[in-house]
Amino acid sequence: MILFHYKYTLLTVAVFASLTIGIIVAIASYIRYKKLLSMLDPIADVAMAVMHGDLAQEVEIKGKNKIARLGKDINKMIESLKDRENKIKEYQKELQGQKEYLEAIFNSLIDGIIIISKECIIIKINPTIAIWTNSREEEIIGKHLTELINCRCKVDCSKNSDNCPLIFQNERLLPNEATIVNSSTKAEKLLYLNSAPISGMIDEPNYLIVLRDITEFKEMNQMREDFMATLTHDLRVPILAEGNTLKLFLKGILGPQTDKQREALENMLESNNDLLRMVSSLLDAYKYDSGNIELFKEPVHLKKLVQDCIAELTPLARKNDQTLTNLISKEIHSLNIDKNEIKRVFRNLIGNSITYTPKGGSITVNAENNDREVIISINDTGKGIDESELEKIFDRFFSKARKFRKVGTGLGLYLSKQIVEKHGGKIWAESNVGEGSTFYFSIPLDAKQE
């Protein structure tokens, strides 16, 4: 009985001791937990502040335990974020400065600027466009391009922009002029137009249209052209009168002449004819430029037409010991053309070859036809044309005559180009310096007579 009581007492003491130890451990753990929370709370507060963008807070470091090391790492992270934030602010400031600079340039341009989408919807304009149209920017943005300008191309983009040459850079249809109307005065401005896609776009590209006001330039140019036309027209009358008078002298109607006098009169008449051709070329160039030219087409046999031209120019070629040859076959189609105008093309091209071919050279005229057109060629064994000049020889007033101390207006090839294009054809040249040149021009077969 005493033994049982002793064992019970020991068990009671053991249980009590275990409970006491458990309570002590629990109290110690709670104290440690509270201490840990008290150390983590400041870190949590700083983390929350950083999350909301406040980088002014830092963790207060106490001791050298793991929590202190965590606090140091967080402080380093905050410093790194501060550096990045400062750099971002610097970049933003720089970008804002560049944006303001570019915006100032954009708004200061005297040329009109329009930015459009792929659907030809206006996205942005500069103040010049607003001034020209007497409209506010917000009234224009969002409109279709065709509601603002008439770009004078042959494509109707108002319903479908899939074929718009400004967007797809279709060189054949790409316009270089446009008009814009002032909504208040209804005055129209004539503009030179250029367009290009804006590169570097992540999404679908936008397109830039640059418009330059050429209204006054065109008006001044038209006045100059009208003056030249009037002047050349007035010059033709006395030149024709002088030519007729010289012809009367040569016929002996106004009295006999000595051989020397006759030779002098013939030279004067030749110079008079040259001057008349130059004045006529100036007048005709004006007519073609203004569109005031009308073709009088008729069925013409090409070989016969060329033979007539060669007959006219043979005396000039003989002076230089040159040979003119017509190789055009009788089988070449008869064409529905303006006989006098195409004859002028042949005279210009053959005469040009005679002028720039040395003595003893040859000029050959030939033609061939395919399913679409007749292509005529005039080949010579002359000086040839430098490659850099081949693209310029058909320009207005471009002439090599001055280089070789010859008289010329530089309108012969220009007029030939106008005449050929008026017939729906094209003209070009190929050449090797020192070996000669070949001039080509084509007449579409839709002009042929069956």
SS3 string, 331-370, reads: CCCCEEEEHHHHHHHHHHHHHHHHHHCCCCCEEEEEEEEC
Q: Which of 51-55, 288-292, 332-336 has the highest mean pLDDT?
A: 332-336
The Cα 6–Cα 252 span in angstroms is 176
Across residues 285-300, what is the average pLDDT?
Answer: 76
- Is the pLDDT at 448 greater than 60? The verdict is no
Query: Token pair 């479908």 is at which residue?
Result: 160
**Per-residue pLDDT tens digits for 209-223:** 899 988 887 777 777
36, 67, 83 — which closes off a domain? 83
Supply the mean pLDDT for the chain.
79
What does the pLDDT read at residue 407?
41
Predicted confidence band of residue 449 (pLDDT cuts 50, 70, 90) = very low
Q: Are residues 308 and 433 in the same domain?
A: yes
Residue 401 has a pLDDT of 41
Alpha-carbon distances, residue 384 vs 316, 394, 418, 438 (angstroms): 20, 15, 23, 9
| Whether residue 302 is found in the same domain as residue 442 | yes
**Same-domain check for residues 333 and 420:** yes
Identity of residue 224: R
pLDDT of 387: 81
Token pair recorded at residue 175: 């316009």
pLDDT band, very low/low/confident/very high, at 329 (cuts 50, 70, 90): confident
| pTM strictly above 0.75 | no
Answer whether residue 178 shows pLDDT above 70: yes
Instruction: Answer with the one of 196, 213, 230 that is the final residue of a domain.
Output: 213
Residues 348 and 430 in one domain: yes
pLDDT at 377 exceeding the cut of 90: yes
Q: Are residues 442 and 302 in the same domain?
A: yes
Cβ contacts of residue 295 below 8 Å, gap of 6+? Answer: 337, 338, 341, 422, 423
Domain annotation covers residue 93: no
Q: How many domains does the chain have?
A: 4
Give me the pLDDT at residue 66, please.
Answer: 66
How does pLDDT run across 245-280, given as a tens digit for each residue? 878 888 888 788 888 888 888 888 888 777 777 777
| Boundary-marking domain end, from 255, 290, 325 | 290
For residue 178, give every residue at least 6 positions away whose Cβ sits within 8 Å of its Cβ, in sequence order, or none.
Answer: 149, 150, 151, 152, 191, 193, 211
**Structure token pair of residue 167:** 């967007």
Domain shared by 204 and 237, yes or no: no
How far is 122 from 141, CA to CA, in rounded Å? Answer: 5
The reply to whether 311 and 394 lie within a common domain is yes
pLDDT of residue 1 exceeding 80, the answer is: no
Residue of 209, 190, 206 whose CA lies nearest to 198: 206
148 is in which domain, residue-wise? 109-213
72 within some domain: yes
pLDDT computed for residue 350 by the predictor: 92
